[in-house]
Structure 1
Amino acid sequence: MGNLALVTGATSGIGKAFAERLAADGHDLIIVGRTKDRLEEFAVAHPQVEVRTIAADLSTPEGIDTVAEVVAAEPLRMLINNAGVAHYMPLADLSAEQAREIVNVKVLAPTLLMRAAVGGMQKRGTGSIVNVAGMIAFSGPADASVMPRRAVYGGTLANLVAMTQLLAAELAGSGVTAHVVCPGVVATNFHAAQGLDVSAVPRMSAEDLVTGALRGIELGEVVIAPGVEDPLLLEHVFTADLAAFDGQSPELARRYRG
């Protein structure tokens, strides 16, 4: 395989749209999902490229390890960490099993797959790592009127944003790039699977999201927000982040002194 990409969560929604576009652009693919039949259907439908399938559950250590072994062994040009799970609910309502699933899929799996990919990409001097997060990553300061509450879900996406930014700095000058895509509400069955009716909410198509993501990579953007028209909004966020980071002191701030 030459121009090889691996996509997780590739059997529906954003992941399938990524896989469709990459196949159309001539990438050979390794696609990952929980359902073997749907993976094989995709492979049969795309005979113009070589498609390998991995049926794995990235909410489990075994599933993560299975995919990480493949990532480490293959000459990937692109890794797309797209697999997701929502469980939109307040922390108090979230079961331990659901919390573990979210963290495994959106934190542990991307971390270990990036770790498996990055060494080989650096040796080859080329490659792109793409994490799919969401604009909810920026919703932390929102007050209680913004519903539904989803502390764990939003927190995992915020982790992806920060981790990708830090990784991009680590990779500077290596020929390998890191990017995080932050969609808003996308027209997939993702929300319906959580019992949420967003039919009245304006939604971006998964195809437009992929177009924006790939163009953002070309533009060299680390944080790619396909639905944000004014890029200065993001720059203001990042400037404020760095101002707070640089504004720290070993002296106790006056407001905390009794």
Structure 2
Amino acid sequence: MSKLALVTGATSGIGKAFAERFAADGYDLIIVGRRQDRLAEFASGHPEVQVRTVAADLSTEDGINNLAQVCADEPLDMLVNNAGVSHYMPLADLPAEKARELVNVKVLAPTQFMRAAVGPMQQRGRGTILNVAGMIAFSGPADRTVMPRRAVYAGTLAYLVAMTQTLAAEVAGSGVTVGVVCPGVVATEFHSAQGLDLSAVPRMSAEDLVTGALRGLELGETVSAPGVADYQLLENLFTADLAAFGGQSPQLAARYAK
């Protein structure tokens, strides 16, 4: 029996590259995006596997709820939460509707899809959830000289990293794998759609990013970073996180006492 993968944001860039890889590996697919024409084009180009298309706007309540039901009902072997919007701008300049869209697409939607899929995966004793975040998740300590400023965008990616790490611990031993991949700059339409010209910036291909993400899962990396050669850098970060978490006390720290 063929395996089944669901990929959001599958009409271009990283999501399309994931869908292409899974089709090549013999997965049946549920591909999700806003543009029905692109979804149909992908489906017609892959007659070798079954491709179900779902046109959905994941910034809306209906779009999220409808796809969450699909995640609950279908026997998914792989769920890739890839859909995203950038909206790079300082918080004070970010229109309310764009802030809402960004949080819905990158926080609320993947949360609801994971919640819907993980229980059935545990019951079946197998399944993989892969979230697509970004290295910007680790950029919070950067000072104001690092541009463009993007507080909400960085926050949503950091949420995905912490959510993934915590969920991975929750499902340990159940046969379900949870991971998050953190791309750097990837050669897709993502930045150009926001009016950013990165043609002169070295960029990873979407295909290499997918290769790295899937290899990271094989290596047991809950957080993978295909552009980081020295994984010890991330290990050091996680160790420091746990040290800070474990270093708390019910007593007021001396530096805060008057």
Alignment partner of 1:129: what SS? strand
| Aligned residue runs from structure 1 range 60-209, under 5 A | 60-209=60-209
Write the letter of the residue equivalent to 1:119. Answer: G
| Aligned residue runs from structure 1 range 226-241, under 5 A | 226-241=226-241
Alignment partner of 1:180: what SS? strand
Write the letter of the residue equivalent to 2:129. Answer: I
2 CA distance for matches of 1:132 and 1:246? 28
1 CA distance for matches of 2:123 and 2:201? 45
Conserved? CA contact 2:10–2:16, under 8 Å: yes
Aligned to 1:4: 4
1 CA distance for matches of 2:2 and 2:77? 8
1 CA distance for matches of 2:142 and 2:201? 19
Structure 1: gaps of 5 or more residues: none
1 CA distance for matches of 2:124 and 2:219? 22
1 CA distance for matches of 2:204 and 2:42? 23
CA displacement 1:26-47 (0-9 Å, x = unmatched): 0000000001111010000000
Alignment partner of 1:76: what SS? coil
Alignment partner of 2:80: what SS? strand
2 CA distance for matches of 1:206 and 1:120? 30
Alignment partner of 2:199: what SS? coil
2 CA distance for matches of 1:13 and 1:117? 24
Write the letter of the residue equivalent to 2:181. Answer: V
CA displacement 1:7-29 (0-9 Å, x = unmatched): 00000000000000000000000
Conserved? CA contact 2:2–2:26, under 8 Å: no
RMSD (CA atoms): 0.6
Alignment partner of 2:77: what SS? strand
- The structure 1 segments of at least 4 consecutive aligned residues displaced by more than 6 Å after TM superposition are none
In the alignment of these two chains, the number of paired residues is: 258
Question: TM-score, normalized by length of structure 2?
Answer: 0.99
Conserved? CA contact 2:132–2:182, under 8 Å: yes
Shift of 1:160: 0.2
Shift of 1:197: 1.2
1:48 aligns with 2:51: no
2 CA distance for matches of 1:22 and 1:107? 24
Write the letter of the residue equivalent to 2:157. Answer: L
2 CA distance for matches of 1:72 and 1:250? 41
Structure 2: gaps of 5 or more residues: none
Shift of 1:2: 3.0
Conserved? CA contact 2:64–2:112, under 8 Å: yes
Write the letter of the residue equivalent to 2:183. Answer: P
> Percent identity over the alignment?
78
CA displacement 1:112-154 (0-9 Å, x = unmatched): 0000100110000000000000000000000001000000000
